[in-house]
Amino acid sequence: MEGRMRPYLPELTIRDYNTYLWYLRGVRWQMYRSYGLYSCRLQQHNGVLFALLADSLAGRPATCKAQRLPGNLCRKQMMCQTQGIRLAAQVEVMLGWHKLQDRRWDELPLRGRLRRAVDRALLRGAYEKAVKENPALERLFGQEQEQAVVQMNLNANNYTVAAEPMSNIYGALYSTLATDDPSQRKSMRYIGSCIGRVFYLLEKAARVEDDRKVGRYNVFLVNGINGKEEALENARRQALAAANDLVRAYSMLDVKLNKSLIDNIMILGLRHAVDPLDAENQPVRWELP
């Protein structure tokens, strides 16, 4: 669950960059306000896209205000509380908590075990509060974990079957961001499924050598691919096909706000995450972490 959906900065306009940054700060502030300062370390970029999509598909404009950033005294512009931002904070906390459970204790070095113990102790309260606020979301994660265990026990060698648990959970998450329009919900579910498949393949390909050493299930190992580079090449090829399918489904969405920004993330951002578009150039970072 480590995949990040973020903008492709070289093609991003100043206006869209500011909008994304304000949403990023808004989600971080919401996590701080609802779940405490330590929960902010769980923030990736998944929740920002959830907030953007939820507000933009529903046509809910967010208000920008100057607020104090968590952990310091600086006041900067950020998007204020919206339904999308509150949902994004819950998603970030639950995704981050379940990410802590991805590796077995015996696979971690001593330093990793100590860090996990501290994280579990300090983040449990935030996780339990998020579960009480949105129990349906937690049920999705529980179903994904059960499906993942089944796939490991079956030792499945089909890439589509192996990626199904993560595809299903991302599909369910993205479908909740849509309006009540059935066609939009169907498109969003398919988009989420494609994103889940992309990041499952890339994550498993990056871990193939570590999984081989500890005897952990990995669909690439089952298919006789033992090297990281070979696995990544295979994963990129399949992920690009999934990204192309996503673009076709995304073109059917009615995005009411921030369309150019979401276009950038969904098309160029995902493509860049799979196969860097500017591999020979210096990366553009600006202020985004």
Cα–Cα distance for residue pair 83/78, rounded to 1 Å: 15
**What is the model's pLDDT at position 156?**
82
Q: List, for residues 242-273, the tens digit of each pLDDT value.
A: 999 999 999 999 999 999 999 999 999 999 98
Token look-up 């009540």 returns 180
Q: Where are the beta strands (DSSP E) in the chain?
A: 64-68, 75-79
At 169, the amino acid letter reads: I
Q: List, for residues 18-71, the tens digit of each pLDDT value.
A: 999 999 999 999 999 999 999 998 887 678 999 999 999 999 998 999 999 888
Three-class secondary structure of residue 65 per DSSP: strand
Domain boundaries 9-274, corresponding CATH code: 1.10.600.10
**What is the model's pLDDT at position 104?**
76
User: Which H or E run contains 202?
Assistant: helix 182-206
User: Can you list the residues of the chain whose pLDDT is less than 70?
Assistant: 1-3, 45, 279-289
Cα–Cα distance for residue pair 25/69, rounded to 1 Å: 8
Closest alpha carbon to 190 in 212, 213, 167 = 167
Cα–Cα distance for residue pair 191/247, rounded to 1 Å: 8
**201 CB neighbour count, 10 Å cutoff:** 27
pTM of the model: 0.91
Query: Which whole-number Å values give the CA distances from 126 to 3, 8, 102, 162, 287, in the listed order?
Result: 22, 31, 18, 31, 27
Q: Where are the beta strands (DSSP E) in 37-133?
A: 64-68, 75-79
**243 CB neighbour count, 10 Å cutoff:** 21
Do residues 85 and 22 lie in contact, with contact meaning Cβ atoms separated by under 8 Å? no
Closest alpha carbon to 238 in 196, 175, 190, 207 = 196
**What is the model's pLDDT at position 1?**
40
Opening angle at CA 197, ends 267 and 145, nearest 5: 135
**What is the model's pLDDT at position 147?**
83
Cα–Cα distance for residue pair 115/47, rounded to 1 Å: 23
**What is the model's pLDDT at position 42?**
83
